[in-house]
Amino acid sequence: MPTNWEELGTGGPVIAILAVLSLISWALIIAKSLQLWHCRAGVDLRSAAFETWKSGDKHAALKAVEAGKSPADRIIAYAMNALSKGFKGDRLEGELARRGNEELALMNNLIRILELIAMISPLLGLLGTVLGMIESFQQLEGAEGAANASVLAGGIWQALLTTAVGLVVAIPAAVGASLLAGRIDSSAQMMESAVGELLLINENPPV
Protein backbone atom coordinates (compact mmCIF):
# COMPACT_ATOMS: atom_id res chain seq x y z
CA MET A 1 0.00 0.00 0.00
CA PRO A 2 1.41 3.45 -0.90
CA THR A 3 2.44 5.59 2.01
CA ASN A 4 3.21 8.86 0.21
CA TRP A 5 2.46 10.73 -3.02
CA GLU A 6 5.69 9.62 -4.69
CA GLU A 7 4.69 5.96 -4.41
CA LEU A 8 1.45 6.70 -6.26
CA GLY A 9 3.42 7.67 -9.37
CA THR A 10 1.34 9.34 -12.06
CA GLY A 11 -1.81 8.78 -9.98
CA GLY A 12 -0.62 11.12 -7.23
CA PRO A 13 -1.47 14.42 -8.96
CA VAL A 14 -4.84 13.05 -10.07
CA ILE A 15 -5.71 12.00 -6.53
CA ALA A 16 -4.62 15.44 -5.28
CA ILE A 17 -7.00 17.09 -7.76
CA LEU A 18 -9.78 14.73 -6.73
CA ALA A 19 -9.15 15.56 -3.07
CA VAL A 20 -9.59 19.26 -3.83
CA LEU A 21 -12.79 18.54 -5.79
CA SER A 22 -14.07 16.50 -2.85
CA LEU A 23 -13.53 19.40 -0.45
CA ILE A 24 -15.27 21.79 -2.87
CA SER A 25 -18.23 19.46 -3.35
CA TRP A 26 -18.78 18.92 0.38
CA ALA A 27 -18.48 22.66 1.03
CA LEU A 28 -21.08 23.32 -1.67
CA ILE A 29 -23.41 20.62 -0.36
CA ILE A 30 -23.30 22.07 3.15
CA ALA A 31 -23.65 25.69 1.98
CA LYS A 32 -26.54 24.95 -0.39
CA SER A 33 -28.29 22.77 2.20
CA LEU A 34 -28.23 25.66 4.66
CA GLN A 35 -29.40 28.09 1.98
CA LEU A 36 -32.30 25.84 0.92
CA TRP A 37 -33.26 24.76 4.43
CA HIS A 38 -36.39 26.94 4.45
CA CYS A 39 -37.17 26.89 0.72
CA ARG A 40 -40.20 24.61 1.19
CA ALA A 41 -41.40 26.11 4.45
CA GLY A 42 -44.43 28.28 5.17
CA VAL A 43 -47.27 26.19 3.70
CA ASP A 44 -49.47 26.57 6.78
CA LEU A 45 -48.47 30.21 7.17
CA ARG A 46 -49.55 31.02 3.60
CA SER A 47 -52.80 29.10 3.95
CA ALA A 48 -53.66 31.10 7.05
CA ALA A 49 -52.67 34.34 5.29
CA PHE A 50 -54.95 33.51 2.35
CA GLU A 51 -57.86 32.98 4.72
CA THR A 52 -57.09 36.33 6.33
CA TRP A 53 -56.92 37.93 2.87
CA LYS A 54 -60.34 36.46 2.04
CA SER A 55 -61.78 37.97 5.20
CA GLY A 56 -60.71 41.42 4.00
CA ASP A 57 -57.88 42.04 6.45
CA LYS A 58 -55.22 42.49 3.79
CA HIS A 59 -52.77 44.25 6.10
CA ALA A 60 -52.71 41.33 8.55
CA ALA A 61 -52.32 38.84 5.70
CA LEU A 62 -49.37 40.79 4.32
CA LYS A 63 -47.71 40.99 7.73
CA ALA A 64 -48.10 37.24 8.15
CA VAL A 65 -46.33 36.30 4.92
CA GLU A 66 -43.65 38.95 5.43
CA ALA A 67 -42.56 36.93 8.47
CA GLY A 68 -41.97 33.87 6.27
CA LYS A 69 -38.52 32.72 5.16
CA SER A 70 -39.22 30.82 1.94
CA PRO A 71 -39.09 32.13 -1.65
CA ALA A 72 -42.84 31.54 -1.94
CA ASP A 73 -43.40 33.76 1.11
CA ARG A 74 -41.36 36.56 -0.45
CA ILE A 75 -43.21 36.31 -3.77
CA ILE A 76 -46.62 36.28 -2.06
CA ALA A 77 -45.64 39.21 0.16
CA TYR A 78 -44.79 41.24 -2.93
CA ALA A 79 -48.00 40.13 -4.68
CA MET A 80 -50.17 41.07 -1.70
CA ASN A 81 -48.47 44.44 -1.38
CA ALA A 82 -48.95 45.11 -5.10
CA LEU A 83 -52.59 44.00 -5.11
CA SER A 84 -53.39 46.16 -2.09
CA LYS A 85 -52.09 49.14 -4.09
CA GLY A 86 -54.20 48.30 -7.13
CA PHE A 87 -51.40 46.80 -9.23
CA LYS A 88 -52.88 43.85 -11.14
CA GLY A 89 -53.30 42.19 -14.52
CA ASP A 90 -50.58 41.20 -16.98
CA ARG A 91 -48.08 43.68 -15.57
CA LEU A 92 -48.33 42.14 -12.11
CA GLU A 93 -48.13 38.60 -13.47
CA GLY A 94 -45.06 39.53 -15.53
CA GLU A 95 -43.34 41.04 -12.50
CA LEU A 96 -44.19 38.00 -10.37
CA ALA A 97 -42.72 35.74 -13.07
CA ARG A 98 -39.55 37.85 -13.14
CA ARG A 99 -39.19 37.71 -9.36
CA GLY A 100 -39.86 33.97 -9.39
CA ASN A 101 -37.12 33.48 -11.97
CA GLU A 102 -34.73 35.49 -9.81
CA GLU A 103 -35.54 33.30 -6.81
CA LEU A 104 -34.95 30.18 -8.91
CA ALA A 105 -31.64 31.51 -10.23
CA LEU A 106 -30.49 32.22 -6.68
CA MET A 107 -31.43 28.74 -5.51
CA ASN A 108 -29.81 27.08 -8.54
CA ASN A 109 -26.58 29.03 -8.10
CA LEU A 110 -23.55 26.68 -7.80
CA ILE A 111 -25.63 23.52 -8.34
CA ARG A 112 -24.04 23.22 -11.78
CA ILE A 113 -20.62 23.04 -10.15
CA LEU A 114 -21.74 20.05 -8.09
CA GLU A 115 -23.07 18.38 -11.22
CA LEU A 116 -19.80 19.10 -13.00
CA ILE A 117 -17.77 17.56 -10.17
CA ALA A 118 -20.01 14.48 -10.24
CA MET A 119 -19.43 14.19 -13.99
CA ILE A 120 -15.68 14.75 -14.24
CA SER A 121 -14.49 12.96 -11.09
CA PRO A 122 -14.90 9.42 -12.51
CA LEU A 123 -13.25 10.58 -15.74
CA LEU A 124 -10.28 11.96 -13.80
CA GLY A 125 -10.07 8.71 -11.88
CA LEU A 126 -10.11 6.76 -15.13
CA LEU A 127 -7.42 9.04 -16.53
CA GLY A 128 -5.24 8.35 -13.49
CA THR A 129 -5.77 4.63 -13.92
CA VAL A 130 -4.85 4.73 -17.60
CA LEU A 131 -1.71 6.75 -16.90
CA GLY A 132 -0.77 4.37 -14.09
CA MET A 133 -1.28 1.33 -16.29
CA ILE A 134 0.88 2.89 -19.00
CA GLU A 135 3.60 3.55 -16.44
CA SER A 136 3.40 -0.03 -15.13
CA PHE A 137 3.72 -1.56 -18.59
CA GLN A 138 6.58 0.78 -19.43
CA GLN A 139 8.39 -0.56 -16.36
CA LEU A 140 7.64 -4.09 -17.51
CA GLU A 141 9.00 -3.34 -20.96
CA GLY A 142 12.11 -1.74 -19.50
CA ALA A 143 12.78 -4.83 -17.38
CA GLU A 144 12.63 -6.97 -20.54
CA GLY A 145 10.38 -9.51 -18.91
CA ALA A 146 12.43 -9.78 -15.72
CA ALA A 147 10.17 -7.55 -13.62
CA ASN A 148 8.97 -8.85 -10.29
CA ALA A 149 5.28 -9.79 -10.56
CA SER A 150 4.53 -8.28 -7.14
CA VAL A 151 6.00 -4.94 -8.21
CA LEU A 152 3.89 -4.96 -11.36
CA ALA A 153 0.77 -5.90 -9.38
CA GLY A 154 1.48 -3.11 -6.94
CA GLY A 155 1.72 -0.60 -9.79
CA ILE A 156 -1.60 -1.76 -11.20
CA TRP A 157 -3.22 -1.57 -7.74
CA GLN A 158 -2.02 1.99 -7.34
CA ALA A 159 -3.34 2.88 -10.78
CA LEU A 160 -6.79 1.44 -10.03
CA LEU A 161 -6.87 3.44 -6.80
CA THR A 162 -7.51 6.65 -8.75
CA THR A 163 -10.69 5.20 -10.25
CA ALA A 164 -11.94 4.27 -6.78
CA VAL A 165 -11.14 7.75 -5.47
CA GLY A 166 -12.91 9.31 -8.46
CA LEU A 167 -16.07 7.34 -7.68
CA VAL A 168 -15.85 8.22 -3.98
CA VAL A 169 -15.79 11.91 -4.94
CA ALA A 170 -18.46 11.64 -7.64
CA ILE A 171 -21.13 9.72 -5.73
CA PRO A 172 -21.76 12.25 -2.91
CA ALA A 173 -21.63 15.12 -5.41
CA ALA A 174 -24.21 13.44 -7.66
CA VAL A 175 -26.50 12.55 -4.75
CA GLY A 176 -26.18 16.05 -3.27
CA ALA A 177 -26.89 17.76 -6.58
CA SER A 178 -29.94 15.55 -7.18
CA LEU A 179 -31.44 16.07 -3.72
CA LEU A 180 -30.84 19.82 -3.81
CA ALA A 181 -32.33 20.08 -7.30
CA GLY A 182 -35.39 18.22 -5.99
CA ARG A 183 -35.84 20.78 -3.22
CA ILE A 184 -35.52 23.60 -5.73
CA ASP A 185 -38.12 22.06 -8.05
CA SER A 186 -40.49 21.60 -5.13
CA SER A 187 -39.97 25.21 -4.07
CA ALA A 188 -40.67 26.40 -7.62
CA GLN A 189 -43.95 24.47 -7.65
CA MET A 190 -44.89 26.01 -4.31
CA MET A 191 -44.25 29.51 -5.65
CA GLU A 192 -46.34 28.90 -8.74
CA SER A 193 -49.17 27.30 -6.76
CA ALA A 194 -49.22 30.05 -4.13
CA VAL A 195 -49.29 32.84 -6.71
CA GLY A 196 -52.07 31.14 -8.64
CA GLU A 197 -54.12 30.66 -5.48
CA LEU A 198 -53.71 34.29 -4.40
CA LEU A 199 -54.63 35.67 -7.82
CA LEU A 200 -57.68 33.40 -7.95
CA ILE A 201 -58.80 34.56 -4.50
CA ASN A 202 -58.29 38.20 -5.46
CA GLU A 203 -60.30 37.82 -8.68
CA ASN A 204 -63.13 36.00 -6.92
CA PRO A 205 -63.54 37.63 -3.51
CA PRO A 206 -66.10 36.05 -1.16
CA VAL A 207 -69.53 37.59 -1.30
How far is residue 110's CA from residue 21's CA, in Å, rounded to a whole number?
14
Q: For helices 58-66 and 43-55, give the axis angle rounded to 10 degrees.
A: 170
- The answer to whether 15 and 161 have CB atoms below 8 angstroms apart is yes
Helices (H), 109-148: 111-142
144: DSSP letter: T
The domain spans of the chain are: 10-36+119-187, 43-108+192-203
**30 contact partners, CB below 8 Å, separation of at least 6:** none
User: What is the tens place of the pLDDT at every residue in 130-155?
Assistant: 887 877 777 766 666 555 665 566 66
Q: Would you give the distance in Å from CA 111 to the centre of its chain? A: 4
pLDDT along the chain (207 residues), means of 10: 51 87 96 94 92 90 91 94 88 92 94 96 90 75 60 69 93 96 95 92 72
Predicted TM-score (pTM) of this structure: 0.82
